[in-house]
Structure 1
Amino acid sequence: MSDLDFPILLVHDPAEASPAIAEGVRYIAEALSAQGLAIVNARGEEEAELIVKTRPELSCVLMSWDDPDHDPGGGRRIERLIRLVREIQESLPIFLLTESLRVDELPHEVLQETSGYVWITEDKPEFSAGRIARAAEGYRRSLMPPFFRRLYDYVNEFKDAWHTPGHSGGLAFLKSPVGKIFYDFYGPNIFLTDLCSSVPEMGSLLEHQGVIREAEDEAAEAHGADRTFFVTNGTTMSNQIVHRALLKAGDVVVVDRNCHKSVINACIMTGAIPVFLPAHRNGQGIIGPARWEALDPEVIRARVAAHPLVRRKAGAVDPGAADGGPCGQRGGGGGCGGRTGRCGRRQRVGGFGNGFGLGFIPGSGPTGENGGDHELHV
């Protein structure tokens, strides 16, 4: 990630500043440029607002705090610009460029929304530029989630990869004309990140450790889940994992009629018996979610009892038991609260992908084990 790709916005009009202030700001800008940081200049708050709205790649904002005697409305315009920045990106670093004598004049509401201030005429430009550059780099790194951040660092460590795939960072493609076209089309980074699962720095997808586990934990927090597991091959593989972990031949599983087709495949492979919930369908024939009335425990019990492949009837299901508790549990927020008696076994819960589905093929699964004992799932 080049520093030039994430410039710093400098809101300052040298024509409106004293010669000493204008010179001090220029020295800071030159010190930032010497560190490889690009500067985007805005001579006023209106121009700065346009840049903030259209340049999401900004890594820091520097604002010159005007002399209130020289420009009585300048402070209010800066406050408005700060609010705009925070509405768009709450963690973007903001520094105020001012004089030490004017720090006491900065409103508390402004200071609490900024990352700090720079004394233009007293701090050394190189020191001020170092503070700003460090804040900008910290912000850029905070944008990347754990796995991507470690992958970015790994590529920039320029390590030789002596493992599969044997592309050597794209070198193998550069041995032929068509390979060169292919390489130039995608660019070098896609080949430098073409790694196998044996790179210890990148964690383990099989053992769910390292940065992969860190990324999974962040994903779980973002989605309100207890745990999130990254798998390959998308929704189909995820549904296969859930079914194979929870279901066995003869188990009864309540399925949304508008489910992903991999759910049907998983039922066939595990031998589970799907009981479908009817879905809404509008006048254009577009299928929606399951009907609300179909989620009633009594309706589900009746559909299970009428299913031709269910030899011995299972207990009732409460769709609200999303915590995986037994159907017969009493009290609490999950389960049927004891209204329907006890299911012989513990209810399990799995989450399945949405999408368009196919009907169950009659006769494709067994009717149960141990004399037709069925376990019920939602």
Structure 2
Amino acid sequence: MKFRFPVVVIDEDFRSENISGSGIRDLADAIGREGMEVVGFTSYGDLTAFAQQASRASCFIVSIDDEEFGDGSDDGASQSLEAIQDFLQAVRQRNTDIPVFLYGETRTSRHIPNEILRELHGFIHMFEDTPEFVARHIIREANKYLESLAPPFFDALMNYASDSSYSWHCPGHSGGVAFLKSPVGQMFHQFFGENMLRADVCNAVEELGQLLDHTGPVSASEHNAARIFGCDHLFFVTNGTSTSNKVVWHSV
């Protein structure tokens, strides 16, 4: 399934007719030709405000060669680095894994302190490589990040729903097909969407594992949930609180 997680470019020269603007547009076009959406922002304002995009982006590319980042003086450079550092801190508070790249001239990269460098996935040296090569590198990192997002069971469920598998184990659900036979059913189907109805499956699907004997993606997801909650063991069950209470009673 194709999700909308664009590459976010923050560069005031994104639509300018100077050399920096030309370079970043060439890179954005190369990313687009590879099938990845690019969203460009041309007004910096409070740079940390863009950190709110961290939940809906696949990658950040931030230019550091614009006039807004300083006039070459020590004070200007200090303000530039402080703005970048505040942006990275705001991003990492929300998302520790999303790729962040800086884009600028090679001479600029020499002045970036280690506390900024260690939060980056790379520094894109302006015109040092072809846009196509850099685009593929960025997309590789973005895809690696996106592939790591879904927990085990949700990942398996998405693959199952997108693989056009028939629900023979649960024929009454029928993947929502029954709703297509009446006008109000069509309305219901369009409101909730086909993915939700195709993912309405039984608790014993080979591709998704078994809830009753805790195998496959179910087991992997239980181990992942146990890690998150900091417990020794964690088990998923069907039904509601009554079943949960029975599990607790049996365990003690």
Q: Which TM bucket (shorter chain)?
A: 0.7 to 0.9
- Deviation, 1:69, is 5.3
* 1:321-367 deviation line (CA, Å, top 9, x unaligned): xxxxxxxxxxxxxxxxxxxxxxxxxxxxx4xxxxxxxxxxxxxxxxx
The answer to whether the aligner puts 1:84 opposite 2:83 as a matched pair is: no
Aligned match of 1:35: 34
The answer to whether the aligner puts 1:152 opposite 2:151 as a matched pair is: no
Aligned match of 1:140: 146
- Deviation, 1:93, is 1.1
How many Å separate the matches in 2 of 1:183 and 1:25? 42
- Deviation, 1:113, is 0.6
- Work out which of the residue numbers 181, 192, 197 in structure 1 matches 2:187: 181
What TM-score does the superposition give when structure 1 sets the normalisation length?
0.59
* 1:139-184 deviation line (CA, Å, top 9, x unaligned): 2232221101111122222333333134443222212222212212
Q: Is the CA contact 1:7–1:40 (under 8 Å) kept in the aligned structure 2?
A: yes
Aligned match of 1:376: none
1:228 counterpart letter in structure 2: L
How many Å separate the matches in 2 of 1:15 and 1:140? 25
Q: Is the CA contact 1:62–1:95 (under 8 Å) kept in the aligned structure 2?
A: yes
Which structure has the bigger radius of gyration?
1
- Deviation, 1:35, is 3.0
Matched ranges for 1:308-323 at <5 A:
none
- Deviation, 1:38, is 2.7
Provide closer, same or farther for how the CA distance between residues 156 and 118 of structure 1 changes in structure 2, counting only shifts above 3 A. Answer: farther
- Work out which of the residue numbers 223, 228, 231 in structure 2 matches 1:222: 228
What TM-score does the superposition give when structure 2 sets the normalisation length?
0.86
2:7 counterpart letter in structure 1: I
Matched ranges for 1:99-114 at <5 A:
99-114=105-120
Secondary structure of 2:120 counterpart = coil
Aligned match of 2:60: 61
How many Å separate the matches in 2 of 1:92 and 1:62? 11
1:42 counterpart letter in structure 2: F
Secondary structure of 2:110 counterpart = helix
How many Å separate the matches in 2 of 1:55 and 1:105? 26
- Deviation, 1:87, is 1.8
2:62 counterpart letter in structure 1: M
Which runs of 5 or more structure 2 residues have no equivalent in the other structure?
A: none
Secondary structure of 2:210 counterpart = coil
Provide closer, same or farther for how the CA distance between residues 48 and 58 of structure 1 changes in structure 2, counting only shifts above 3 A. Answer: farther
- Name the stretch that deviates more: 26-35 or 160-169: 160-169
Q: Is the CA contact 2:170–2:201 (under 8 Å) kept in the aligned structure 1?
A: yes
- Work out which of the residue numbers 196, 207, 220 in structure 2 matches 1:190: 196
How many Å separate the matches in 2 of 1:112 and 1:55? 18
How many Å separate the matches in 2 of 1:207 and 1:176? 39
Aligned length: 245
How many Å separate the matches in 1 of 2:94 and 2:228? 19
- Deviation, 1:96, is 1.0
How many Å separate the matches in 2 of 1:80 and 1:204? 46
Q: Which has the larger share of helix?
A: 2
How many Å separate the matches in 2 of 1:54 and 1:29? 18
How many Å separate the matches in 1 of 2:81 and 2:15? 14
How many Å separate the matches in 1 of 2:131 and 2:14? 20
